[in-house]
Amino acid sequence: MNTMNTITQGGILIEGLRKVYGSGDTAVEALKHVNMQVAPGEVVGLVGPSGSGKSTLLKCLGAIIEPTSGKMTLGNEVIYDNGWKVKDLRALRRDRIGFVFQAPYLIPFLDVTDNVALLPMLAGAPNGASRSRAMELLTALEVQHRAKAEPSQLSGGEQQRVSIARALANKPPVILADEPTAPLDSERALAVMHILNQMAQQAQTAIIVVTHDEKIIPTFKRIYHIRDGRTFEEAGLGLTL
Amino acid sequence: MISLAGRDILHGWSKYVLTGLGLGLLIGVTLTMAGVYRGMVDDAHALLTNSRADLWVVQKDTQGPYAESSSIKDDVVRSVRGMPGVAAAANVAYLTMQVQKDGQDQRVMVVGMEPGMPGAPGYLVTGRHITRNHYEAVADVKTGFALGDTVRIRRHDYTVVGLTRRMVSSGGDPMLFVPMKDAQETQFLKDNDAIVNDRARTAANPAFNRPGSPGLLEAVQNLQTSSRSVNAVLVQIAPGFNPEQVAEPIRRWKHLSVYTRDGMEDILVVKLIANSAKQIGMFLVILAIVSAAIVAFIIYTMTMGKLREIAVLKLIGTRDRTIAGMILQQALGLGLIGFAVGKVAATFWAPAFPKFVLLLPGDSVTGLVVTLIICALASTLAIRVALKVDPGAAIG
Report the CATH number that the domain containing residue A101 is assigned in CATH: 3.40.50.300
CB B154 within 8 A of CB B186: yes
Distance CA A104, CA A183 (A): 10
Put simply, the answer to whether B317 touches A95 (Cβ < 8 Å) is: yes
Q: How many domains does chain A have?
A: 1
Distance CA B138, CA B146 (A): 10
Q: Is residue A157 part of a domain?
A: no
Q: What is the ipTM of this complex?
A: 0.84
Which residues touch B153 (CB under 8 Å, ≥6 apart)? B97, B99, B110, B137, B176, B178, B182, B186
Q: Is residue A78 part of a domain?
A: yes
- Is residue B193 over pLDDT 80? yes
Domain extent at residue A187: 3-109+171-235
- Is residue B59 over pLDDT 60? yes
Task: Name the residue among B99, B198, B199, B187 with its Cα closest to residue B139.
Answer: B99
Q: Which of B3, B312, B326, B330 to mutate to test the interface with A (most CBs of A within 10 A)?
A: B312
- Is residue B291 over pLDDT 60? yes
Put simply, the answer to whether B7 touches A114 (Cβ < 8 Å) is: yes
Distance CA B9, CA A103 (A): 24
Put simply, the answer to whether B11 touches A90 (Cβ < 8 Å) is: no
The per-residue pLDDT for A4 is 40
Put simply, the answer to whether A55 touches B396 (Cβ < 8 Å) is: yes
Q: Is residue A229 part of a domain?
A: yes
Report pLDDT digits (tens) over B234-279. Answer: 999 999 999 999 999 998 887 899 999 999 999 988 888 888 888 8
Is the Cβ of B316 closer than 8 Å to some Cβ of chain A? yes
Percent of chain B's residues with pLDDT above 90: 51
Give φ, ψ of A15 to 5 degrees.
Answer: -130, 115
Put simply, the answer to whether B317 touches A94 (Cβ < 8 Å) is: yes
Put simply, the answer to whether B391 touches A64 (Cβ < 8 Å) is: yes
The per-residue pLDDT for A9 is 53
Instruction: Provide the shortest C-alpha distance from residue A2 to chain B (in Å).
Output: 31
Q: Is residue B227 part of a domain?
A: no
- Is residue B98 over pLDDT 70? yes
- Is residue B227 over pLDDT 80? no
Q: Is residue A72 part of a domain?
A: yes
Q: Which of A58, A93, A127 has its CB closest to that of B316?
A: A93
Q: Which of B315, B318, B329 to mutate to test the interface with A (most CBs of A within 10 A)?
A: B315
Q: Which of B11, B308, B315 has its CB closest to that of A99?
A: B315
Length of chain A (residues): 241
Q: Classify residue B168 by its DSSP letter.
A: B
- Positions of chain A with pLDDT lower than 50, given as ranges: 1-8
Q: Is residue A143 part of a domain?
A: no
The per-residue pLDDT for A241 is 63
Put simply, the answer to whether A110 touches B7 (Cβ < 8 Å) is: yes
Q: How many domains does chain B have?
A: 1
Report pLDDT digits (tens) over B362-374. Answer: 999 999 999 999 9
Q: What is the mean pLDDT of residues B64-68?
A: 85
Which ranges of A141-185 does DSSP label H, i.e. alpha helix?
156-168
Q: Which of B7, B314, B395 has its CB closest to that of A58?
A: B395
Q: Is residue B345 part of a domain?
A: yes
Nearest Cα residue in chain A from B13: A109
Put simply, the answer to whether B1 touches A99 (Cβ < 8 Å) is: no
Q: Is residue A215 part of a domain?
A: yes
Q: Is residue B316 part of a domain?
A: yes
The per-residue pLDDT for B171 is 80
Give the pLDDT band (50/70/90) at residue B294.
Answer: confident
Q: Is residue B158 part of a domain?
A: no
* More confident position, B3 or A7: B3
Task: Name the residue among B357, B387, B373, B393 with its Cα closest to residue B28.
Answer: B357
Q: Is residue A132 part of a domain?
A: no
Nearest Cα residue in chain A from B313: A107
Distance CA B294, CA B378 (A): 9
Helix (H) or strand (E) holding B150: strand B150-153
Give the pLDDT band (50/70/90) at residue B323.
Answer: very high
Mean pLDDT of chain B: 89
- Is residue B34 over pLDDT 60? yes
Q: Which residues of B touch A107 (CB under 8 A)?
A: 4, 309, 312-313
Q: Is residue B105 part of a domain?
A: no
Task: Name the residue among B306, B283, B284 with its Cα closest to residue B363.
Answer: B284
Q: Which residues of B touch A108 (CB under 8 A)?
A: 11, 306, 309
The per-residue pLDDT for B261 is 92
Lowest mean pLDDT among A79-93, A190-204, B42-56, B183-197: B183-197
Task: Name the residue among B103, B100, B145 with its Cα closest to residue B127.
Answer: B145
The per-residue pLDDT for A3 is 40
Chain A / chain B CB contacts < 8 angstroms: 79
Which residues touch B156 (CB under 8 Å, ≥6 apart)? B134, B135, B182
Determine the Cα angle at B30 with ends B25 and B33, to 5°: 125
Distance CA B200, CA B220 (A): 12
Q: Is residue B61 part of a domain?
A: no
Q: Which of B306, B308, B319 has its CB closest to that of A90?
A: B319
Q: What is the mean pLDDT of residues B214-218?
A: 84
Give the pLDDT band (50/70/90) at residue B340.
Answer: very high
pTM above 0.80, yes or no: no
Measured CA distances, A73 to A92, A201, B55, B122, B216 (Å): 12, 20, 90, 90, 123
Domain extent at residue B17: 4-43+274-394
Distance CA B230, CA B71 (A): 6
Q: Is residue A127 part of a domain?
A: no
Distance CA B106, CA B226 (A): 28
Q: Is residue B33 part of a domain?
A: yes
Q: Is residue B390 part of a domain?
A: yes
